Amino acid sequence: MINFGYARATDVADAVRQIAADPAAKFIAGGTNLIDLMKYDVERPARLIDITRLPLKTVEETANGGLRIGALVPNSDLAYHPLIEERYPLLSSAILAGASQQLRNMASVGGNLLQRTRCLYFYDTATPCNKREPGSGCSAIDGINRNNAILGTSDACIATHPSDMCVALAALDATVHVAGPAGERAIRFADFHRLPGDAPQIDTNLAPTEIITAIELPPQGFAANYSYLKIRDRLSYAFALVSVAAALDLEGGRIKEARLALGGVAHKPWRKAEAEAALRGEVANQAAFTKAADILLRDAKGFAHNAFKISLARRAIERALTQAASGTPQSQSSKTIR
Ligand SMILES: Cc1cc2nc3c(=O)[nH]c(=O)nc-3n(C[C@H](O)[C@H](O)[C@H](O)COP(=O)(O)OP(=O)(O)OC[C@H]3O[C@@H](n4cnc5c(N)ncnc54)[C@H](O)[C@@H]3O)c2cc1C
Ligand code: SF4
């Protein structure tokens, strides 16, 4: 029996005060990841600070035509929100490609960003893992690494970030709003998650005493030409081997603006400005898509069991961009899953 304390936060300021006063405490939202980690003895918070009653559950339009999404909006509510369905269907589609309906009902936006890797060894406390126990070694590099990363890896860790929602948020250029003892600040989505480097135990640039309050989406939602393509071992209820969020703004068959992000391949959603720049101004065809895929995957490095992800990712990028260009996204949309 491992004892832990429990307290409920009354407002955001109280949540920040409580976490700053107790470095061994953790926030709990939907609990769909944290409770599992506690059951597996991977995480041992001395106290849980329940944030589920904080007023962070609304989706509001911003003055510049974007949206502000509260950190406690459940994943299902967000996927089926009329403004998301209409203006950001890429986000809706990515959320619905993840987990199960029951999990999506519980899971929060903030928790989804902070969910931890699904590397097998991270959950197996009998094995060395630098992310779980810094300095102990990485069991995946020479072990079973089928689900691990091919981009942005280090000698210390080759884990992936498992979220689907985050891949769409990266492509949409979202901003993460947070509050902490020093006040509020905004973090560009591209800067929120980290690469493992020599400190793989730190997943993000959120300070331990900060709380995520909201995600902001800019006005451009790419609602006409987008695709979220998720390749996985089972058709549902499985994490991505490779996923692609593709979004295009087309004018007369040419690409005016392009966004391309990969999931399942790195410690964070993988984007490269150079790949998107290579698409801009080009005719939306196979040659342009292949060139962008080559640039995005240029530094990819496979390990014993996951080298297949490199060619899988290349084909998935080409397919997702083709679907986006033709306006026929094939992945789940909120219109087909109810
Ligand atoms: C079987 C299974 C399958 C799944 N499949 C997928 C999948 O295919 N794709 C996918 O994307 N996800 C998948 N998930 C993951 C799921 O989406 C996450 O578990 C969920 O989004 C986490 O949200 P939560 O609110 O439950 O977080 P919690 O478990 O409550 O918290 C997770 C972490 O976030 C912290 N936290 C939560 N909210 C905040 C906040 N506002 N500010 C600061 N810290 C906070 C907590 O302290 C904790 O460290 C799956 C989960 C399970 C169990
Ligand atoms: S890849 Fe990262 S999470 Fe997996 S065993 Fe190695 S250090 Fe741990």
- Cβ of 42 less than 6 Å from ligand 2: no
Yes or no: say if 337 and 96 are a contact pair by the CB < 8 Å rule: yes
SS3 229: strand
Yes or no: say if 54 and 15 are a contact pair by the CB < 8 Å rule: yes
Q: What number does the ligand 2 atom closest to the CA of 130 have?
A: 7
pLDDT of residue 40: 96
| CA of residue 230 to ligand 2 center, whole Å | 23
Cα–Cα distance, 5 to 7 (Å, whole number): 7
Q: What number does the ligand 2 atom closest to the CA of 119 have?
A: 4
Phi/psi at 234 (5° precision): -120, 160
β-pair type (226-231, 242-251):
antiparallel
Q: What number does the ligand 1 atom closest to the CA of 29 have?
A: 30
| CA of residue 308 to ligand 2 center, whole Å | 19
Q: What number does the ligand 1 atom closest to the CA of 165 have?
A: 11
Average pLDDT over residues 218-231: 98
The tens digit of pLDDT for each residue in 285-318 reads: 999 999 999 999 999 999 999 999 999 999 999 9
Comparing CA positions, the residue from 6, 17, 12 lying closest to residue 70 is 12
| CA of residue 80 to ligand 2 center, whole Å | 35
What's the pLDDT band for 36 if we cut at 50, 70, 90?
A: very high
What's the pLDDT band for 193 if we cut at 50, 70, 90?
A: very high
Which spans in 236-299 are helix H?
273-279, 286-296
When comparing pLDDT for 338 and 142, which is higher? 142
The ligand that comes nearest to the alpha carbon of residue 30 is 1
| CA of residue 83 to ligand 2 center, whole Å | 38
Cα–Cα distance, 335 to 338 (Å, whole number): 7
What's the pLDDT band for 331 if we cut at 50, 70, 90?
A: low
pLDDT of residue 153: 98
**Local structure of residue 204 (DSSP, 8 states):** B
- Cβ of 189 less than 6 Å from ligand 1: no
Show the CA angle centred on residue 48, arms to residues 263 and 28, nearest 5°.
35
Q: In DSSP terms, which residues pair with 244 in a beta bridge?
A: 229, 262
pLDDT of residue 159: 98
Q: Which helix (H) or strand (E) holds 86?
A: helix 82-87
pLDDT of residue 124: 98
Cα–Cα distance, 334 to 331 (Å, whole number): 10
Question: At residue 63, does pLDDT exceed 60?
Answer: yes
Question: At residue 241, does pLDDT exceed 80?
Answer: yes
Atom 2 of ligand 2: nearest residue by CA position: 157
Question: At residue 333, does pLDDT exceed 60?
Answer: no
Q: Which helix (H) or strand (E) holds 215?
A: strand 211-217
Question: At residue 143, does pLDDT exceed 90?
Answer: yes
| CA of residue 26 to ligand 2 center, whole Å | 22
- For the chain, how far is it from start to end, CA to CA, in angstroms? 40
- Could you give the percent of the chain with pLDDT greater than 90? 94
Question: At residue 336, does pLDDT exceed 80?
Answer: no
- Cβ of 303 less than 6 Å from ligand 2: no
Q: In DSSP terms, which residues pair with 249 in a beta bridge?
A: 257
pLDDT of residue 119: 98
Cα–Cα distance, 166 to 140 (Å, whole number): 24
Distances (CA, A) of 52 to 46, 49, 180, 255, 286: 19, 9, 18, 42, 46
pLDDT of residue 332: 54
Atom 21 of ligand 1: nearest residue by CA position: 112
Yes or no: say if 281 and 304 are a contact pair by the CB < 8 Å rule: no
| CA of residue 206 to ligand 1 center, whole Å | 15
Question: At residue 334, does pLDDT exceed 60?
Answer: no
Atom 8 of ligand 2: nearest residue by CA position: 129
When comparing pLDDT for 15 and 331, which is higher? 15
The tens digit of pLDDT for each residue in 80-104 reads: 999 999 999 999 999 999 999 999 9
Largest CA distance in the chain: 65
pLDDT of residue 56: 98
SS3 28: strand
Q: What number does the ligand 2 atom closest to the CA of 138 have?
A: 6
